[in-house]
Amino acid sequence: MSGYRRPSGGKVIERGKSITFTFDGKQYFGLAGDTLASALIAGGVSVVGRSFKYHRPRGIVAAGVDEPNALVTVLGDGAREPNIRATEIEIHDGLVCESQNRFPSLDFDMRALNQLGGDALAAGFYYKTFMGPARWPFGGTRTWMAFERQIRRAAGLGRAGTESDTSRYDRVNAHCDTLVVGGGKPGIVQALEAARKRRRVIVCEIDPTLGGYASWSGDPDISAMITQLQAMDNVQILTRTTAWGIYDGNAVAALERVSDHRRDRAPGEARQRMWIIRAGHVALATGAFERPLVFPGNDRPGVMLASAAQRYAAMYGVLPGKRIAIVTNNDSAYTSAIALKARDANVITIIDLRSEVSGGARSIASVAGARLRTGQAVVATAGTGGLDSIQVAPFDHRTRRPTGRSEGISCDCLLMSGGWSPAIHLASHAGGAPRWDDTLKAFLAPEDGRDLSLHGAAAGDFVFGAGLSPAPAPVYEVRAPGKAFVDFQHDVTADDVRLAHREGFHSVEHVKRYTTLGMATDQGKTSSLPGQAILADALGRPLEQVGTTRFRPPFTPVSLGSIAAERFGDLHPERITPIHDWHVKNGARMVAAGHWQRPECYNRWKESVEQAYIREAKTVRRGVGIVDVSTLGKIDIQGPDAAAFLDRVYTNGFARLPVGKSRYGLMLREDGFVFDDGTTWRLAPDRYLMTTTTANAGPVMQHLEYYLNVIWPDIRVHLTSVTDQWAAMAVAGPHSRDVLAAIVIDTDVDNLTLPPMGIVHGRIAEVPVMICRLSFSGERAYEVYCGAHHGAHVWNALIAAGEPWGILPYGLEALGALRIEKGHVTGAEIDGRTTARDLNLDWMLSTKKPFIGSAMMDRLGLVPITRQALVGVVSINGEKFHGGSHIVESANPKKPGPSLGHVTAMCYSPVHDRYIGLALVSSGRARLGARLYATDPVRSASHVPVEIVRHVMVDPSGDRMHG
Amino acid sequence: MAEYSALQVIRNALGGNEHWKPLWRKPDPKPAYNVIIVGGGGHGLATAYYLASEHGIANVAVLEKGWLGSGNIGRNTTIVRSNYLLPENAAFYEHSMKMWETLSHELNYNVMFSQRGIINLFHTPAQEDEAARRGNAMLLNGVDARFVRPEELGKRMPALDLAGSSRLPVLGGLEQPRAGTARHDAVAWGYARAADRRGVDIIENCEVTGFIRDGTRVTGVNTTRGDIYARKIGVAVAGSTSRVLAMAGIDALPIESHVLQAFVTESVKPCLDCVVTYGGGHLYISQSDKGGLVFGGDIDGYNSYAQRGNLPIVEDVMSEVVELFPAFAKLRLLRSWGGVMDMSMDGSPIITAGPLPGMYLNAGWCYGGFKATPASGFCFAHTIATDEPHPLNAAFSLDRFYRGYVLDEKGQGATPWKH
Amino acid sequence: MAEPFISTPVMAATAQSPIADALLPGEYGNLAIGAQVALSERFGLAICDVCAWPGLETKTANAIKRATGLAVTKRRDAVGEAAQGFQHAPGRWTVIAEDPSLAERLTRAVSANATVVDLAHGRTCLRIAGEAGTSVLAKLFAIDFAEKAFPVAKGLATSHHAVLAQIQRVDAQTFDLLVFRSYARTFFHALTRASEEFGYRIVPPRAGEPET
Amino acid sequence: MIIPCPFCGPRDLAEFTYHGDAARAAARPAHGSTDQEAWDRHVYDRRNPAGSHAEIWQHAGGCRSHLRVVRDTRTHEITETTLYAPEVSQ
Report the pLDDT value the prediction gives residue C3, as an integer from 0 to 100: 56
Report the pLDDT value the prediction gives residue A105, as an integer from 0 to 100: 81
How many domains does chain B fold into?
2
Ranking A308-322, A570-584, B293-307, B391-405 by mean pLDDT, the lowest is A570-584
Is the pLDDT at B98 greater than 80, yes or no?
yes
Report the pLDDT value the prediction gives residue A525, as an integer from 0 to 100: 92
Of A170, A172, A770, the CB nearest to C5: A770
User: What homologous superfamily is domain C18-44+121-203 in, according to CATH?
Assistant: Probable tRNA modification gtpase trme; domain 1 (3.30.1360.120)
User: Which helix (H) or strand (E) element contains residue D88?
Assistant: helix D86-89
Q: Do D7 and C158 touch (CB under 8 A)?
A: no
Burial of A121-155, coded b for 16+ CB within 10 Å and e otherwise, reads bbbbbbbbbbbbeeeeeeebbebbbebbeeebeeb
Is the pLDDT at A359 greater than 60, yes or no?
yes
Q: Give chains near D: 3+ CB pairs under 8 A.
A: A, B, C
Asked if B174 and B261 sit in the same domain, the reply is: yes
Report the pLDDT value the prediction gives residue A444, as an integer from 0 to 100: 96
Report the pLDDT value the prediction gives residue C72, as an integer from 0 to 100: 95
Residue A864 touches chain B, beta carbons under 8 Å: no
Does residue B84 sit within a domain?
A: no
Q: Give the Cα separation of C98 and C93 in Å (integer).
A: 17
Q: Do C142 and D7 touch (CB under 8 A)?
A: no
Of B66, B174, B337, the CB nearest to A552: B337
Which residues from chain A sit within 8 angstroms of residue D20, using beta carbons?
none
Is the pLDDT at B278 greater than 70, yes or no?
yes
Question: Model confidence at A29, in pLDDT bands (50, 70, 90)?
Answer: very high
Find the mean pLDDT for residues B69-88.
Answer: 95
CATH of residue A710's domain is 3.30.70.1400
| Residues A669-693 pLDDT 10s | 999 999 999 999 999 999 999 999 9
Does residue A367 sit within a domain?
A: no
CB A143 within 8 Å of CB A246: no
Q: Name the average pLDDT for chain B.
A: 96
Does residue A308 sit within a domain?
A: no
Of B4, B136, B332, the CB nearest to A557: B332
- Report the residue of C77, C140, C156, C167 to disrupt the D interface, i.e. the one with the largest count of D CBs within 10 Å: C156
CB A91 within 8 Å of CB A105: no
Asked if A25 and A117 sit in the same domain, the reply is: yes
| Residues D23-47 pLDDT 10s | 999 999 999 999 999 999 999 999 9
- Report the residue of A179, A668, A709, A714 to disrupt the D interface, i.e. the one with the largest count of D CBs within 10 Å: A709
CA torsion, ordered A29, A32, A35, A40, to nearest 10 deg: -20
Does residue B83 sit within a domain?
A: no
The residue type of A175 is: H
Asked if A197 and A61 sit in the same domain, the reply is: no
Residue ranges, comma separated, of all CATH 3.30.70.1520 domains in chain C are 45-119
Domain boundary among A144, A164, A184: A164
Report the pLDDT value the prediction gives residue C207, as an integer from 0 to 100: 46
CATH of residue B397's domain is 3.50.50.60
Find the mean pLDDT for residues A395-404.
Answer: 94
Domain boundary among A721, A745, A768: A721
Find the mean pLDDT for residues A783-800.
Answer: 98
Report which of A843, A885, A838 is spatially closest to residue A866, judged by C-alpha positions: A838
Q: Please say whether the dihedral angle defined by the alpha carbons of residues A312, A317, A323 and A328, taken in this order, is positive or negative.
A: positive
Find the mean pLDDT for residues C159-179.
Answer: 96
Strands D66-72 and D52-58: antiparallel
> Which three-class secondary structure state does DSSP give residue A562?
helix
The residue type of B297 is: G
Q: Give chains near A: 3+ CB pairs under 8 A.
A: B, C, D
Q: Do D66 and A709 touch (CB under 8 A)?
A: yes
Does residue B103 sit within a domain?
A: no
Ranking A138-142, A799-803, A862-866 by mean pLDDT, the lowest is A138-142
Report which of A241, A232, A170 is spatially closest to residue A201, judged by C-alpha positions: A232
Q: Do A247 and D1 touch (CB under 8 A)?
A: yes
| A-chain residue closest to B110, CA distance | A127
Of A430, A702, A859, the CB nearest to D17: A702
Asked if A689 and A736 sit in the same domain, the reply is: no
Q: Do B318 and A560 touch (CB under 8 A)?
A: yes
What Rg do the C-alpha atoms of chain D give, in angstroms? 14
Report the pLDDT value the prediction gives residue C212, as an integer from 0 to 100: 38
Three-class DSSP labels, chain B: CCCCCHHHHHHHHHCCCCCCCCCCCCCCCCCEEEEEEECCCHHHHHHHHHHHHHHCCCCEEEECCCCCCCCHHHCCCCEECCCCCCHHHHHHHHHHHHHHHCHHHHHCCCCCCECCCEEEEECCHHHHHHHHHHHHHHHHCCCCCEEECHHHHHHHCCCCCCCCCCCCCCCEEEEECCCEECCHHHHHHHHHHHHHHCCCEEECCCCEEEEEEECCEEEEEEECCEEEEEEEEEECCHHHHHHHHHCCCCCCECEEEEEEEEEEEEEECCCCCCEEEECCCCEEEEECCCCEEEEEEEEEEEECCCCCCCHHHHHHHHHHHHHHCHHHHHCEEEEEEEEEEEEECCCCCEEEECCCCCEEEEECCECCHHHHHHHHHHHHHHHHHHCCCCHHHCCCCCCHHHHCCCCCCCCCCCCHHHC
Instruction: Tell me the C-alpha to C-alpha distance, in Å, between residue A185 and each of A216, A230, A252, A383, B319.
Output: 11, 14, 21, 40, 37
Does residue B248 sit within a domain?
A: yes
Is the pLDDT at B40 greater than 80, yes or no?
yes
Residue A298: Cβ-neighbour burial (10 angstroms; 0-12, 13-18, 19+): buried
Asked if A732 and A645 sit in the same domain, the reply is: no
Find the mean pLDDT for residues A803-810.
Answer: 97
Of D7, D15, D83, the CB nearest to C158: D15
Report the pLDDT value the prediction gives residue A569, as an integer from 0 to 100: 64
Which residues from chain D sit within 8 angstroms of residue A448, using beta carbons?
75
Q: Give the Cα separation of D72 and D79 in Å (integer).
A: 8
Residue D20 touches chain A, beta carbons under 8 Å: no
| Residues B327-342 pLDDT 10s | 999 999 999 999 999 9
Domain of B350, in residue numbers: 28-78+184-255+346-418
Asked if B298 and B409 sit in the same domain, the reply is: no
| Residues A870-922 pLDDT 10s | 999 999 999 999 999 999 999 999 999 999 999 999 999 999 999 999 999 99
Q: Do C142 and D83 touch (CB under 8 A)?
A: no
| B-chain residue closest to A590, CA distance | B167
| Residues A827-885 pLDDT 10s | 999 999 999 999 999 999 999 999 999 999 999 999 999 999 999 999 999 999 999 99
| Residues A64-87 pLDDT 10s | 999 999 999 999 766 799 999 999
Is the pLDDT at A435 greater than 60, yes or no?
yes
Find the mean pLDDT for residues C19-47.
Answer: 96
| C-chain residue closest to D63, CA distance | C89
Asked if A148 and A185 sit in the same domain, the reply is: no
Q: Do A554 and B322 touch (CB under 8 A)?
A: no
Q: Do D64 and C158 touch (CB under 8 A)?
A: no
Which residues from chain D sit within 8 angstroms of residue B243, using beta carbons?
50
CA torsion, ordered A793, A797, A799, A804, to nearest 10 deg: 170
Question: Model confidence at C210, in pLDDT bands (50, 70, 90)?
Answer: very low
DSSP bridge partners of A949 = A872
Is the pLDDT at A794 greater than 90, yes or no?
yes
The residue type of A237 is: I
Asked if B314 and B238 sit in the same domain, the reply is: no
CB C172 within 8 Å of CB C152: yes
Question: Model confidence at D86, in pLDDT bands (50, 70, 90)?
Answer: low
Percent with pLDDT over 90 in chain B: 92
Of A683, A768, A790, the CB nearest to C2: A683
Of D13, D18, D71, the CB nearest to B310: D13
CA C87 to chain centre: 12
Asked if B203 and B339 sit in the same domain, the reply is: no
Does residue A859 sit within a domain?
A: no
Does residue B90 sit within a domain?
A: no
Percent with pLDDT over 70 in chain A: 99
Does residue B309 sit within a domain?
A: yes
> Which three-class secondary structure state does DSSP give residue A959?
helix
Q: Give the Cα separation of A492 and A83 in Å (integer).
A: 19
Does residue A754 sit within a domain?
A: yes
Asked if B211 and B251 sit in the same domain, the reply is: yes
Report the pLDDT value the prediction gives residue A132, as an integer from 0 to 100: 86
| Residues A248-271 pLDDT 10s | 999 999 999 999 999 889 999 999
Task: Tell me phi and psi for residue A362, to 5 degrees.
Answer: -55, -45
Find the mean pLDDT for residues A400-425.
Answer: 96
CB C166 within 8 Å of CB C178: yes
Does residue B4 sit within a domain?
A: no
Chain C stretch 66-95, residues whose beta carbon is closer than 8 A to a beta carbon of chain A:
none
Find the mean pLDDT for residues C40-51.
Answer: 97
Instruction: Tell me the C-alpha to C-alpha distance, in Å, between residue A349 and each of A292, A305, A355, A386, A768.
Output: 18, 15, 15, 19, 93
| B-chain residue closest to A566, CA distance | B319
Report the pLDDT value the prediction gives residue A346, as an integer from 0 to 100: 96
| Residues B180-212 pLDDT 10s | 999 999 999 999 999 999 999 999 999 999 999
Chain C stretch 44-63, residues whose beta carbon is closer than 8 A to a beta carbon of chain A:
44, 49, 51, 53
Of D8, D64, D65, the CB nearest to C156: D8
Find the mean pLDDT for residues A312-321.
Answer: 97
CB D19 within 8 Å of CB A710: yes
State the Cα angle at A409 between A408 and A411, rounded to 5°: 140
Domain of A954, in residue numbers: 864-962
Q: What is the DSSP letter of A466?
A: T
Asked if B149 and B246 sit in the same domain, the reply is: no
How many domains does chain A fold into?
6
Asked if B300 and B378 sit in the same domain, the reply is: no
- Beta strands per DSSP E along A693-780: 718-721, 726-732, 744-745, 759-764, 767-772
Asked if B264 and B359 sit in the same domain, the reply is: no
Q: Name the average pLDDT for chain A.
A: 94
CATH architecture of C45-119: 2-Layer Sandwich (3.30)
Asked if A125 and A270 sit in the same domain, the reply is: no
Q: Do B323 and A431 touch (CB under 8 A)?
A: no
Domain boundary among A244, A262, A285: A285
CA atoms within 13 A on the CB side of B264: 23
Report the pLDDT value the prediction gives residue A570, as an integer from 0 to 100: 62
Q: Do A722 and C117 touch (CB under 8 A)?
A: yes
- Report the residue of A172, A179, A248 to disrupt the D interface, i.e. the one with the largest count of D CBs within 10 Å: A248
Asked if A188 and A268 sit in the same domain, the reply is: yes
Q: Do A278 and D39 touch (CB under 8 A)?
A: no
Asked if B339 and B196 sit in the same domain, the reply is: no
Residue A950: Cβ-neighbour burial (10 angstroms; 0-12, 13-18, 19+): middle
Asked if A688 and A740 sit in the same domain, the reply is: no
Is the pLDDT at C90 greater than 50, yes or no?
yes
DSSP bridge partners of C48 = C95, C118
- CATH topology for D2-27+49-89 is Folate-binding fold (3.30.2270)
Question: What residue ranges do the domains of chain D occupy?
Answer: 2-27+49-89
Q: Do D64 and C159 touch (CB under 8 A)?
A: no
Residue ranges, comma separated, of all CATH 3.30.1360.120 domains in chain C are 18-44+121-203
Asked if B193 and B311 sit in the same domain, the reply is: no
Asked if B160 and B220 sit in the same domain, the reply is: no
When mean pLDDT is compared over A76-80, A132-136, A283-287, the highest value belongs to: A283-287
Report the pLDDT value the prediction gives residue A136, as an integer from 0 to 100: 76
Report the pLDDT value the prediction gives residue A430, as an integer from 0 to 100: 83
Report the pLDDT value the prediction gives residue A432, as an integer from 0 to 100: 84
Asked if B357 and B249 sit in the same domain, the reply is: yes
CB A759 within 8 Å of CB A741: no
| Residues A192-244 pLDDT 10s | 999 999 999 999 999 999 999 999 888 999 999 999 999 999 999 999 999 99
Q: Do D31 and A850 touch (CB under 8 A)?
A: yes
Is the pLDDT at D90 greater than 80, yes or no?
no
CB A739 within 8 Å of CB A805: yes
Strands A169-181 and A201-204: parallel
Residue C10 touches chain A, beta carbons under 8 Å: yes
CA B330 to chain centre: 30
Does residue B362 sit within a domain?
A: yes
Report which of B151, B343, B124, B356 is spatially closest to residue B254, judged by C-alpha positions: B343
Residues 6+ apart with CB under 8 A from A69: A48, A49, A51, A58, A59, A60, A61, A299, A488, A489
Q: Give chains near B: 3+ CB pairs under 8 A.
A: A, D
Q: Do C189 and A573 touch (CB under 8 A)?
A: no
Q: Do D83 and C156 touch (CB under 8 A)?
A: no
DSSP string, A654-704: -TTPPTTEEEEEEEE-TTSSEEEEEEEEEEETTEEEEEE-TTTHHHHHHHH
Question: Model confidence at A158, in pLDDT bands (50, 70, 90)?
Answer: very high
Residue C154 touches chain D, beta carbons under 8 Å: no
Does residue A345 sit within a domain?
A: no
| B-chain residue closest to A133, CA distance | B105
Q: Do C157 and D83 touch (CB under 8 A)?
A: no
Residue A152 touches chain B, beta carbons under 8 Å: yes
Report which of A54, A93, A94, A96 is spatially closest to residue A72, judged by C-alpha positions: A96
Closest-CA distance, D37 to chain B, in angstroms, reads 8
Residue D76 touches chain A, beta carbons under 8 Å: yes
Question: Model confidence at B119, in pLDDT bands (50, 70, 90)?
Answer: very high
Find the mean pLDDT for residues A5-33.
Answer: 95
Which residues from chain B sit within 8 angstroms of residue A163, using beta carbons?
327
